Structure formats: structure tokens, C-alpha cells
Structure 1
Amino acid sequence: MDDVLAPKPGMLRRLIAFPLTLMIIEFFAVAIGASLLTALFRRFFVKDTPGYFLGGLSVAVLAIVIYLAARRWIERIANDELPLPLLPRELPLGLLIGAGLFTLMTGVVALMGGIVVERVNGMGALWGMLAMAVTSGTIEEIMFRGVLLRHLEALLGTWAALAITSALFGLAHLTNPGASLFAAFAIAMEAGILLGAAYLWKRRLWIPIGIHAAWNFTQGWVFSVPVSGGKAPEGWLITSRNGPEWLTGGAFGLEASVIAMLVATVAGLLLLLRVAKQGGIRPPMWVKTAPEPITYH
């Protein structure tokens, strides 16, 4: 009876609550807030110091706060995507998956002669890599999975949303140093599908954040491989890559390796199969689903 008597929201409220509007507002709110704080902490903290990592961690926390504030005050929904009680369980699981997949892929490339460990470097650029991992893992997962995937799914359904966000994630890396069309395609396949499926699995962000952060940290610090292009960092193990680009990934790094694409994409598809089996695939907004039958007790 309360639902029948409740007043309908006004035109402005309906416009704001439309998925496309929410997607634009939240995407730019997180992007602008994180960018401003990143520029600020880089002015005051020296790279590769504990303070630099704390600055990166503060940026990640700010992105979470902005996102949760938007969900609470604009969408008017509770925090069901980043609940603190589940952080100790789900974030380590994501970290384990991300580090494990990249290590597995690197081991395959090593067996094929594509990468060799030259020496142990010790701590290397630990703090800088930690800062990069926590910021990229948190901000990009909030923007691409929490915002884009979630709202596009509400509009177009799960399959279309996953395809679009995977493509956008690949295109976003196309401007990186050493990028190529194949590198962007590989990122779209291996990361877009895996991270999208990881979000859809629990409908929460801790696991994809952990996967993303650990993947980047493992390649940058553990194996000293370029993270999505650019200069190779000096991490724990100094490595050299030799062989064809399809194996080593070339200047972009191992993410552009065919081996990486196969390993991560297969993992993503297996996880996506689990999502489908548990009923996690949703139709577009224009497809009406049959109401659940009323049961009497």
C-alpha cells in the first residue's frame, strides 16, 4: 500500500536517475577528483619513497569516497559494492588471482625462451610500483566496472555492456607508449573480459581491484616489465625479453603477448561461465522480465 501511495519522482529526478546520466556524472566526478589529488601529491612526495605510496593510497581512498558518495546521495542506494567487512576476504582473493595469472603467463613465456631473469635487484622501485598498482587498480576499476559496466548493463544488458567496456578499456591504452592495435586488442580481451567477469561474479569491486592491482604490481615490480608501455621499471628481478613480439609483447610489455592474452582471457571466460550459471546475465532495459510467482505460506 505504501508503494501505491508514494509520490512519483519528478522529471528532474527521473533524468538524474537515468543510467546514462549517472554514468556521466560518476565517471567524471571520480576522474576529476583523482586527477586533482594525484597532481597535488606528486608535488609534495618524492617518488619511490613510503610517502609516495601513501599519497597514491590517499588518491585511491578519495576515488572510493567520491564513488560511494555519488551512490549514496545521487543514486540513493546503499554501499553494496565496496563493503568494508568483505575487504579482508575479497581483496586478498583478487590479489592472489592477479599475481597468480601474471606469474603463470610469465612462466610460460620463460619456458618458450621469451624472458630471462638476469639478476636479483632487491627492493628496486617498490614504493613507486605500489603507488601505481593501488591507484590504477582502484580508480580504473571504479570507472570502468563500477560506473561504465554497471550503468551500461542497466541500459543494454550484460553482454553488450561487457563488450563495450572491454573495447573501451583496450582503446584507453592505445595512447600509451609502445602501444599498437594488437596491444589494445589484447588488453580488451585479457583485462576487459577478466575484470568485467570478476565484477559480475560478486557484483562487488574488491576482487577486480585486487586482480588489477596485483597484475600491474607483479609485472612492474616482480619481473621489471613495462606496465602497459613505457620504460621498464627496476623491480625485484631484472629481466630481459628476447624473441618475436607476439611472444614478448615488444615495447608495450608482456600484456601485449599472445600468451598473456590467452591465459587471462581463458580465466575470464571460465569466470564468466560461472556468472552465467549463477544467473548473473541481465537483459537490456527494454526487455521486460516475468515477475516472480507469488508463493503463499
Structure 2
Amino acid sequence: MKIKTTPGERIFDAANVLLMLLLIVVTLYPLWHVLNASLSDSGRLMGHSGLLLLPQGFNLDAYKLVLGNPAILSGYRNTIVIVVAGTALNLAFTILGAYTLSRKSFMLRNPIMLAIVFTMFFNGGIIPTYLLINNTLHMGNSLLALIVPGLISSYNLIIMRTSFQEISESLLESARIDGAGEIRILLQIVIPLSMPVIAVMILFYGVGHWNSWFGAILYIRDRDLFPLQLVLREILIQNSTDSMMAGAAMGDREAIGESVKYATVMVATLPILFIYPFLQKYFVKGVMIGAIKE
């Protein structure tokens, strides 16, 4: 049966559509502008002002300079190591912690959860954390300093704990009656049933590692260990593009430098944009776990 809508509802729906279209344009245009600028001819780009809807000419020299820069390549390598190793460790420890805290038989789960929630509101501060990691744990100037301190996110732990609590206790009890231990129950029952929230955790942790630069600027001194975002920061903020334009004339360096900045942004952004669609289908289902009680 077709549901009739009132004129007010149709106006409301039209306003919603227009608002969503406006948000899409506002969200996508900056990325579209950067893409067009990175593909534009450097000289014509410098002479253009205002909105950039299409590339000004077509030139891939900026990408050749960026991909030929050893700092970019080493930054990619370090970032991939951080993202892969960090996300794997994040997931492992978050799953173990969440499963333990989701079991009603664990007597200390309430005090431990209180301590975990406490860390969401209060922390030791930058200086004590720096002294702990650099002087006490001796992780300074290593990639471990970018992985270990954020091994478990309290927010993600609570989300995953809530997801595990939604699994029927009768199902787990039947597995115990059949002789399954807690490790087997976790690996063969809980984790397969929790793939949506695990996919969300991969997205949260992975994007967090990919975009992180503040920890690197605190703890990393060796340029060979710089992650990609720290290299990107140098190029965009400190304007360190001269090493990529050794053969360019002095008058062309400013124009080429602008194209190189835009190309660097695209090189640093595209990988995570390509990964997101494969996890997006789990995103809504995962973050809604525990939101509705029946």
C-alpha cells in the first residue's frame, strides 16, 4: 500500500535532500580541488586563482618527483609497518581485554572497567608520558614508541566489550558443555560472530595509525624512521620541496613546489580512501552494536 505524504513532509524531504547534496559538495570539493591541482601544469596553476573545477593542463611531473623522493618512500615503508603491526597488536589486545571484561564470571570486571573509563577523562599529560616512554621504557627514536603507548583504546575496548556481551550466553555455555575452553570459544565462536565490530576496529585503529604524526614528532629523531605524515608535514608546513627539484630552474621552483605539495597530499590520502569502501559496509552495523536493547 502506497503511503501518502503531506505537502509539509514533501517539503521536509526536499530540504533534507538539498542539505545532503550541499554537505556532499562541501566534503568532496577540497579533495577534488587538490586532485585537479596535482594534475595541473605548474605554470598554469600558479596563474590560476579561485575555484579549480578541472585541471589546468595535464602534467604528471609532480607525481614523478614525489614518488621519486626517498623520504616519501621511506615514509610509506615506516607507515605501512606501523599500520599493519600496530593494528594487529591493537586488535589482539583489545579482543583479549574485551572478551575478559564481557564475562559475568570475571569478578574484577567492574573495578577494572571503572579504571579504564577513568583514563578516558584523565591522563598523565605529555611530559610524564614522554619521560616514561623515552627514559623509563627506552622506546625513544623507535617505531615501538608509536605503537605500544596506544596499544588499547578505551573507547574501542568498550565498543568491543559491548559487542561480545550481545552474544548469547546459552551458545557459549553449550560450547563449554561440549568441552571447549575459553580460548577455543573466543577463536571459533566469539570472533566469527563479531566480524562487523572487528572490521570497525580495523578501520578506527588503521586510520588512526595512518594519520598519526604527533607521536612521531615527539619521539622520532632519525629521519629514516619518519612516518609518511611527518614527511608530509615537512613538505606542507616547512616547505621542504627543494630536494625534489634539484634540476629545475630557480624561477620554476615555486610553481613546481605548489604542484608537488598537492601531489604529496594525494599520495598520502588515496591509500586510506581505497581501503575504506571495503570496510564501510560493516561500519554502521558495528557501531550500532549495543545501542538498542530488546
> Do they superpose with TM above 0.5?
no
TM value normalised by structure 1: 0.27
TM-score by length of 2: 0.27
Higher relative contact order (CA 8 A, sep 6+): 2
Higher radius of gyration, 1 or 2: 2
